[in-house]
Structure 1
């Protein structure tokens, strides 16, 4: 898997204005490339073009130009953490990878590492704030850790990396419980540090991604009407069912927490199965990779393919327009359990099932 640069989830830019019910003073995010705001670029060098060209107008690892996005924890230059921090990096998984970044393309910053980074950030930020001056302006107040929003969007790389290492469907399914045990450990660690409001995304339909369709075997009869590989999507759905059960169990263990489970899979599959007219016939048809590694659609380099009218721009990641559409669908609560809008996710505790 090639690593791609920062791909921002739109919620990182919109949760901070005053909300009707919840006024989150900070956002702390854990995840992979779906919500990386420059972490991997800070650690291993700027992501190559065309990453960020249509969204930022420049390299994705550049300073955020004053936009209210959450800075990457690993980005030490020009960052403002007063509204939280982003621990996500492209290629991250819940479980540690048995390979290096340069061999497999998967990040060494697994969820347990991101959890450790958060723990350090909380402790060191408060020590630094005691020095006053600029530190008080650039670091969150202590109360932000108990009233902030904690978002998780991670897990798909655990599934795809297993398939890319030649595991069978049965083997991948057998590994899901351990993966989710590690996920639960990370959530409980954040809770132990005062976190109370959790917004947890499930895994998307990775059987609809061109890079999966190109790398993994798919029989013609396994392709669904949307052009997606049904067996791989079935694994994502199995993961999601167990993730939801994990969230239910966490509600019992963490009675003071408000945990919202968000069915991003349903929102994304709805978009893919009912695509805009100009987005192509199927995931495989819309985007193919040539031998040189560049992604092309209908013979044109992906950057020239009117990304505002596309769903996925590189065979892996959703365009800015698609991310915004998905966010608009999930932020109202229609895809959430309990069915609360994002802005009300802190107002009541979900019922313990």
Structure 2
């Protein structure tokens, strides 16, 4: 009885995890994933878009790596903390041709990627040409070529930087994508028009999971999209929002409502996929809840105003993007770092700081915000 009362005092998600374990009599076995294959956008890009186009500039990356590291943050991303948690190296970007090691997986994510193929170039609004279907094509080519190269390898070192072909079935396949589909829709469509397109966006994500399943993949870790309306860049573009447009934290309600609807349909689709792919272990991860939980309770968690931006020049209506230079009132201005990113949530107005990424990672990797409520180390076990 004492133990049961103690369980009742835990947060709901963690309570469910422990309740399941108590009823079942033990924890599922750990998975020992040999590799991670990631698909996504800038929230999990570890160097793809930087390799394909103009490299990301300082002060990006300098808070942890000491230099730009292909990441849209001052340091590590959630995918980096996932790799650390699974005791794997940081993922090399598939598009990077130097200093790579694919022995423990590969990252196909690129900043600006969408699920659906875009109809504009990256030079207009930063939307990547490497949409999810292209990332899938790259993965299939990567998997096929790996088998040939592994057979041809002449020594252990050559094999060590290649995936073991047998590991593809044992790997964890992670998805963190969809935010840019909504952001692009906000620019071009009414809310009603965008809402009508969500089912097709979700279906294309589901098709990617099915393609990997056909290739032997069995463990999937799928993040929903975050509270887009809480990105400070919205305030750059909308200087005087009406009082009813924002919530008490400064987040735009309409955009967050669209993200919530996207996430509702994504969760429903995950449930369908579990029925259609009986050998798959598919975990739906509520990253939205973690991120909004941080934003809505920022000060109590040791962070400043969630609308504060660390990197860039933002004075009144003048904005210089992080790492760029511009002339403001006749003077050259550099969009530099605030110097104390560890207490700020937003790094550049769109992406999170390393400290915020770590805070979110600590909440989602335990399984407390997942369906089923299992930690990432057990995500190979079917519910």
Q: TM-score range by the shorter chain?
A: 0.7 to 0.9
In 2, distance between residues paired with 1:282 and 1:128? 48
1:316 corresponding residue in structure 2: 350
Deviations 1:197-240 (A, max 9, x none): 00000000010001123325842112111211111100000000
Give how far 1:135 is off.
Answer: 3.1
1:119 corresponding residue in structure 2: 140
In 1, distance between residues paired with 2:197 and 2:289? 23
Q: How many residues align?
A: 325
2:80 corresponding residue in structure 1: none
Q: Is residue 2:380 matched to residue 1:346?
A: yes
Q: Is residue 2:180 matched to residue 1:157?
A: yes
Residue aligned with 1:325, SS: helix
Deviations 1:89-124 (A, max 9, x none): 001010111100001211000000001111011000
Q: Is residue 2:38 matched to residue 1:29?
A: yes
Q: Is residue 2:112 matched to residue 1:91?
A: yes
Give how far 1:281 is off.
Answer: 3.4
Give how far 1:301 is off.
Answer: 5.4
Q: Is residue 2:359 matched to residue 1:325?
A: yes
Deviations 1:254-309 (A, max 9, x none): 1100000000000000000000366443526888745352359xx99551241011
1:8 corresponding residue in structure 2: none
* Aligned 8 A contact 1:289 1:295 in 2: no
Deviations 1:294-341 (A, max 9, x none): 359xx9955124101111111111111111110110111110000011
1:336 corresponding residue in structure 2: 370
Q: 1:77 aligns with which of 71, 89, 98?
A: 98
1:254 corresponding residue in structure 2: 277
Give how far 1:345 is off.
Answer: 1.1
Superposition RMSD on alpha carbons, in Å?
A: 2.4
Q: Is residue 2:277 matched to residue 1:268?
A: no
In 2, distance between residues paired with 1:337 and 1:92? 25
Deviations 1:119-149 (A, max 9, x none): 0110001100111234311111112100010
TM-score by length of 1: 0.87
Give how far 1:44 is off.
Answer: 0.6
Q: 1:281 aligns with which of 302, 305, 312?
A: 305
Which has the larger Rg? 2
In 2, distance between residues paired with 1:286 and 1:85? 30
Greater relative contact order (Cα < 8 A, sep 6+): 2
TM-score by length of 2: 0.80
Structure 1's unaligned 5+ residue stretches are 1-18
Residue aligned with 1:187, SS: helix
Structure 2's unaligned 5+ residue stretches are 1-27, 77-87, 324-332
